[in-house]
Chains A and B, each alone.
Chain A
């Protein structure tokens, strides 16, 4: 999945891109999860569908990432990725729904690399050009 990390001295920037908007959300989620967990060690036995809403697409991206962080803590899950993303335009902005998947967190099995505290508005952008949807944002780690 196409994503990369951007140099930021105190935190970590992510850049997620895909040919579709849904795909760019999925790339962004994987970029963040790959910072937290060793994704190869996570099997898939559970999934959780969630929704968030925000004023514009970039804010919706941040909301979705932050909700994934909440799900990890609240349900003690090791998450591997995000799928089935749907974005709907609403009166107030954009409604996102998607499904995260993974398995119950087991400290013996799952290597955890970094704690991501939050996705921030810093360096936040969304661009669509030449058939590519690109999100960038800084994660507070």
Chain B
């Protein structure tokens, strides 16, 4: 049942300069908590009061709506890249008690485990500068991108089922990568309890030719160089230094994930009514985690998560081979720094008020960011915390951050996922032309390759929030800490 939302005022209280709270009122079971600066809060309140988001639900209302869902623990959270999504805001994090909580499609999103991995090369900026056009062309040729692109791995349905269970390992066994890549992938490249029988034929049919494709929209492959190191001990642990060339790959589970979202939106819509769960927005349909529908969705999401890991693994291989063709680098010299997932829900243990509790953490356009000592992160990084790979936009910078103890205490070990949009795609296309953006960035030394000029305009750097500001907020709040800033040299846009 959808409870109509009363259009009331919303209050946002300052806790610190970078942490704000929406106090618990009405049906809210927990308060809302935002990582934001004063200016961001002012903008969010303006969106709320003037309904500047085109009649759609403003982000602050979405934070409050999530706070009303059954079984939510501690707070409905929003990271600094907060902007309106569907159901949950982008940058939204919600943890639910495993016994009496709910699972929601909107808390995961349609692009399940859209995520970023970063590879480390032994090359420097100076090595790449003279050959960046050649490198861009090679990568553009070798890594399939754009709408309707297909990969060279074609799978039968039985093989798809195996991929959905094994994740990255499935493609590594076929020669697409190194065994050590698994150690440096969140969840070692495959979450447990993935059940392909809960993924529809429709979803599998959409996947059989898309493994190893970048997709489109905001997905990209970027060659970057390390411009500045902020945290030497963490950079040493991660094996990165100033001037080094890195490669970032941003993509997700492609159409398989989209179809899982579509299928279960309908199933959970029926479940919401069946279990009488009061919801404030139709997109927030959900099911008890412990119901048949909830368990099926969770195990299907796990398949989507594994599919995305496999996809980024296959693209890593194509990237290593492309580098080997145009530079004097051997594929095995390009090592994986880490691979993080953005759109997920996962069962995790967290210390809540001095007690370890098992919760289902939804991260929608947010990243897991575990602090030092957690067993889930690679041994080499355990002393400093998990690396976070925060993508900027085509023309700006990206960041490598790390998880902290404060992040574990305050926000279930979570982080921002990117800059966050500041302008709609429609507006961006009205304001910029793709060809102008490509030329402008070329003058700044950044080579862009894309099959879609309109797509380039939609992803224009000016259409996004300032990534520096978003990162500063998280850094100053102490929940994530800056390790390094990187700048793009080449961008293959999906």
Contacts and interface: CB of A to CB of B under 8 A. Distances in A.
Contact of B425 (A12, A36, A70, A122): A12
Contacts of A11: 85-86, 425
A141 interface: yes
Contacts of A13: 54-56
A124 B282 contact: yes
Interface in B461-486: none
Nearest to A37: B147
A63 interface: yes
B86 A122 contact: yes
Contact of A140 (B56, B110, B148, B266): B110
Given A69-B258, A121-B282, A105 B86 contact: no
A122 B283 contact: yes
Interface string B254-266: 0100110110011
A115 B56 contact: no
A114 B147 contact: yes
A84 interface: no
B452 A120 contact: no
A39 interface: no
A114 B426 contact: no
Given A112-B148, A123-B56, A9 B206 contact: no
Interface residues of B, number: 52
Contacts of A123: 55-57, 86
A7 B452 contact: no
Interface in A85-114: 105, 107, 110-114
Contacts of B210: 73
Taking each of B83, B110, B421, B422, which has the highest tally of chain A beta carbons within 10 Å of its own beta carbon?
A: B110
4 interchain residue pairs of minimum CB distance: A122-B86, A112-B147, A7-B54, A115-B216
9 contacts: A9-B424, A10-B421, A73-B205, A73-B206, A112-B451, A113-B454, A118-B110, A122-B85, A140-B109
Given A5-B426, A8-B84, A70-B205, 16 more contacts: A6-B55, A7-B54, A11-B85, A12-B425, A70-B202, A70-B259, A112-B451, A114-B455, A115-B215, A118-B258, A121-B87, A122-B85, A122-B106, A123-B57, A124-B282, A141-B217
